[in-house]
Structure 1
């Protein structure tokens, strides 16, 4: 599972999806494949290394999959679930100073922060690799990595794939990061299905235009379902709204339920970054096209591959 020194140098920090070339994506996916197929061969690769998980926002899948991956690689973990309350941030310490301090304790820092751009700020002052675990409404590059890996695994290709992104696209850092990565592949078609209040932001559309990626906005999900390979469903993020009335105006607009699944092609899949609220009916879980729990499991192998790549 060795990777070239050149490749490791190109992945000092991971703070944005745009950093990742198609060649580097292929290397990460190959390494994740090997770790998924033979996890015992990866045991002990990072023995003696320490990962610090600094999470200023709640997390289940991202935090635990990073920790599980580090432990399976033989390393150790430390950190906090609520750094805003249980770190010196509560006393007014800046993010930059916290990163400088933790540099002395850990070999890699996994950071989740509510402020867009926080991961870039951390990387600018850090002597150890910074891996973004999500920054506000900005990006979530490791989620995008596992999403693209899952699409490749489930659909069998990335070039020419047709993906519908549904739900809260304005606040969804997962869909933003995924759009950046999919733009690296040929003949991809993206369909945005969202209430106007939470439509995909213009910066992503401009990026897609610059890279020749076809995209469209459609209001009727039923029309879209038979036309795509992947439905990437997201929840309306209540925590990103300033008032209850605005949230309720868009909540529950688009739902994947049994009726929606009947419109979906037999070879298509439904993905979701989770957690879900009411936009994804649990009755869909038993459908073999429901890929979201397999998607979540892929997160550990992708994050193992990343940790191994920046530390070994």
Structure 2
């Protein structure tokens, strides 16, 4: 099985075996990083980092991953038009071996992969997909829980507009997890996404507006923020943010071995007091970004 020259656009494009290949490779990368072994699989290779909207964490993480593998990075300033996207892809493919793309429009990464001669890695296309973050999430869950299958995973927060949580939702279906979707009524997971995962993978999916219900039986609590810019009424957004956040009090009935994950950076959706508890694993999750993205780059074009 090989991912050589394969674009990573959506979790829908990856078979379970391919996901496991990436996770296994990430384990290998993590061990080599700890031993400070020299890594040269990307020597003389170039990553073109093309961001049409800012995303410091993803951009820096991939840049560090590429350099750790002995490669180099060229960064292109962001713009917003699709025409600009097509022109830039056709131009920069001549100067690189792999393209990292973030764009606010859904489907932009798919378009780029269709027109590019070089593999494209989707770093987020609007509210659609963010597969590399999901691979980090899966790696973290497997690392901390020993498995993904049959775990009770609760996805909490903005499930309507957040690309990260939509990618993870689909991936959890692949691994047959039991999934709880907890959100304010205004931010529920789109019905077409629920139908797709339920029909394709025959997994248990439970919807609720109650954080207490989402936490009670969860093995994994995955929290994503609620963005004010998604609301016309900012005061309404602030009210929802305050009413839909994870507090220490809510964790009183949680499983003793619950882990809380978050793609970071977080705002008020998780009480800061939780950062120092045994439940908080989001900083450890962030650390796994480097080996996972090294694994992706190595498998796609190493």
Q: Determine if the TM-score, normalized by the shorter chain, exceeds 0.5.
A: yes
Aligned-residue offset at 1:185: 1.4
Q: Deviations over 1:192-247 (max 9, x none)?
A: 11011110011210112212011011122113312010110110022333452553
Q: Does 1:33 align with 2:30?
A: no
CA deviation vs aligned residue, 1:248-271 (integer Å, no higher than 9, x gap): 352223211221232221111000
Name the counterpart of 1:19. 13
Matched, 1:45 2:41: yes
Residue in structure 2 matched with residue 274 of structure 1 by the alignment: 264
For the 8 Å contact 1:35–1:41, the answer to whether it is kept is no
Report SS of the residue matched to 1:23: helix
Q: Is the 8 A contact 2:3 2:300 kept in 1?
A: yes
Q: Secondary structure at the match of 1:302?
A: helix
Verify the 8 A CA contact 2:260 2:280 in the aligned structure 1: yes
What TM-score, normalized by structure 2, do the two folds share?
0.94
Count, aligned residues: 299
Give 1:99 shift.
0.5
Does residue 141 (structure 1) correspond to residue 127 (structure 2)? The answer is: no
What is the RMSD of the two structures over their aligned residues, measured on CA atoms? 1.6
Corresponding position: 1:72 with 2:61: no
Check if 1:177 corresponds to 2:167: yes
The answer to whether the aligner puts 1:196 opposite 2:185 as a matched pair is yes
Summarize the alignment of residues 46-125 of structure 1 with structure 2, pairs less than 5 Å apart.
46-80=42-76, 82-84=77-79, 93-125=83-115
1:256 aligns with 2:246: yes
Question: 1:144–1:178: 8 Å Cα contact kept in structure 2?
Answer: yes
CA positional deviation for 1:287: 1.1
Equivalent residue for 2:273?
A: 283
Q: CA 1:42/1:194 → structure 2, altered by over 3 Å: closer, same or farther? A: farther
Tell which deviates more after alignment, 217-226 or 188-197.
217-226
Relative to the length of structure 1, the TM-score reads 0.91
Q: Report Cα offsets for 1:140-182 as digits up to 9, x if no partner.
A: 0001111011111111211101111111000111110001111
Conservation of the 8 A alpha-carbon contact between 1:35 and 1:42: no
Gaps of 5+ in 1: 1-5
**2-structure distance, mates of 1:241, 1:303:** 33
Runs of 5+ unmatched residues, structure 2: none
Are residue 8 (structure 1) and residue 3 (structure 2) matched?
yes
Alignment match, 1:209: 198
| Between 260-269 and 162-171, the greater mean CA deviation after superposition | 260-269
2-structure distance, mates of 1:97, 1:209: 39
Conserved 8 A contact 1:155-1:268: no
**Residue pair 1:61, 1:296 contacting (<8 A) in 2 also:** no
**Which residue in the other structure is 1:3 paired with?**
none
Q: Equivalent residue of 2:169, what SS?
A: helix
Q: SS state of the match for residue 285, structure 1?
A: helix
Secondary structure of 1:8's aligned partner: coil
Distance 1:160 1:42 in 2: 37
Residues 112 and 135 of structure 1 are in contact (CA less than 8 Å); yes or no, is this contact kept in structure 2?
A: yes
